Structure 1
Amino acid sequence: MLSENEINRVLTVTAHPDDVDFAAAGSIARFVDRGVEVVYCVVTDGDAGGFDRELDNGGMAELRRTEQTNAAKAVGVTDLRFLGYHDGTVVESLDLRRDIARVIRQVRPDLVITHTPERNYRFVAPSHPDHRAVGGSTLDAVYPDARNPYAFPELLQQEGLEAWTVREVWLAGGMTPNHHVDVTDTFERKIAALHAHVSQTSHMEGFDDFLRGRFSQLAVDAGFGEGRYAEAFQRVPTA
């Protein structure tokens, strides 16, 4: 497993705008605060989301890209890559694996944070089919695709992207987390990031109370005690 001082560059790969903020914005803010370079890769533009259906799918996609960009600024992230897949239709595929492997080779991260590809039977929200497809494809892109110079040879031959080995993956949204991050000191920035997703969260009554309840319970589960907040992941060594 990577120690904290071995993590100098982090790539998140998520399905929709706002996914990274629900799962990991507190942890991301902690990384940024200690000088870690963080890059967001968002597979879809979230064009099937939102509650203002006066916007067509194209207008919603543009809005949600802007919201994600603003949310990233709340935790100090300025490098975002949008892959442009259609919201609600993502499946595990060679094309998706190649596109994620490309970003991995460009960014060359020590750590990748993504969705668990497994269904969560205790809390259904993380089990959106786009989440599971992105999680599975990201794991395949980490191993074997990004590290294998003979996988997707066009990445090397046409784009000059050398193979890269990611040393660890953190999976969010699963039933069996084995790593908790105390995000008490960055939790207000996590809330600010989520509020930036106006199209997704502005209609939710008691939204802040829901967030505080959910992430404080994770802190209790982790043994951090009352009055703390935590995010939970499953650590997967990959090197």
Structure 2
Amino acid sequence: MLPETEINRVLVVTAHPDDADFGAAGSVALFVDKGVEVTYLLVTDGDAGGNERTLDNSGMADLRRAEQRAAAKAVGVTDVRFLGYADGQVVPSLELRRAIARVIRQVRPDLVITHHPDRNYRFVAPSHPDHRAVGGAALDAVYPDARNPYAFPELLREEGLEAWTVREVWLNGGMNPNHWVDVTEAMDRKLAALQSHVSQVSHVEGFADFVKSRFAAWAEEAGLGEGRYAEAFQVVPTD
């Protein structure tokens, strides 16, 4: 794995507002504590989600962008970007690969965190079609697109964005994680980030306990013991 001392910039690529917070907000908080620069890139505005249907899709998109910025602030992230794709309609297209590759070349991250592109048969929630599409497109943007100066040459020719090699990818939501991060000391911040998504979670009775139990289970699987919380990833080297 990439040594922590060599991780200076992280790009988190997700489909919807709240995905980063469910999957990686604890790890992000710990990175920020160490001075790592973290950027969130959201492919959609999440306008098809939520229970507050007095809002039309445009109003929901505005609300969810605001909630995501508040959630990011809870873990110390200030750079939050949106691509504006339609919620529920994302496919791993060349256009999406180019858009993600553009941001990789702008941010120049050492590590990318994104969705697992495969369906999870143990737990269905991570397998939203948008998640799988974004994970696949993000991996393609990491390799080969962002590092290949001949891929999407207009990024260099018109925008001056030089090729960039991401050194490692962490996938969340997959069936077979091989890396766990102890996020116990950041669990309160992770929970605060998740609770910032009022339109998504305010109606869920016992939400905090549900979140804690899920990430306590990951800690148990990781062998961290009782009273600990962990986030789980599959590490993909890119060499």
What is the TM-score of this pair, normalised by structure 1?
1.00
The residue number in structure 2 matching 1:166 is 166
Q: 1:35 deviation in Å?
A: 0.2
Aligned amino acid, residue 7 of structure 1:
I
Q: How does 1:146-161 map to 2 (within 5 A)?
A: 146-161=146-161
Matches within 5 A, 1:176-195: 176-195=176-195
State the Cα RMSD in Å.
0.4
- 1:8-39 Cα offsets, whole Å, 9 max, x none, are 00000000000000000000000000000000
CA deviation after TM superposition for structure 1 residue 54, in Å: 0.5
Alpha-carbon shift at residue 139 of structure 1 (Å): 0.2
Return the letter of the residue paired with 1:220: E
TM-score by length of 2: 1.00
SS at match of 1:193: helix
2:237 maps to 1:216? no
**1:147-192: CA deviations, max 9, x gaps?**
0000001000000000000000000000000000000000000000
Structure 2 counterpart of 1:227: 227
Structure 2 CA distance for aligned equivalents of residues 213 and 58 of structure 1: 34
Number of aligned residues: 239
Q: CA shift at 1:100, angstroms? A: 0.2
Q: How far is the alpha carbon of 1:126 from its aligned partner?
A: 0.2
The percentage of counterpart residues that share the same residue type is 77
Separation in 1 of the partners of 2:215 and 2:51? 25
Alpha-carbon distance, 1:131 to partner: 0.1
Task: Write the distance in 2 (CA, Å) between the matches of 1:220 and 1:27.
Answer: 17
- Partners of 1:26 and 1:34 lie apart in 2 by 13
What are structure 1's unaligned runs of at least 5 residues? none
Write out the 4+ residue segments of structure 1 that deviate beyond 6 Å after TM superposition: none
Q: CA deviation at 1:114?
A: 0.1
User: For 2:24 and 2:185, how far apart are their aligned partners in 1?
Assistant: 14
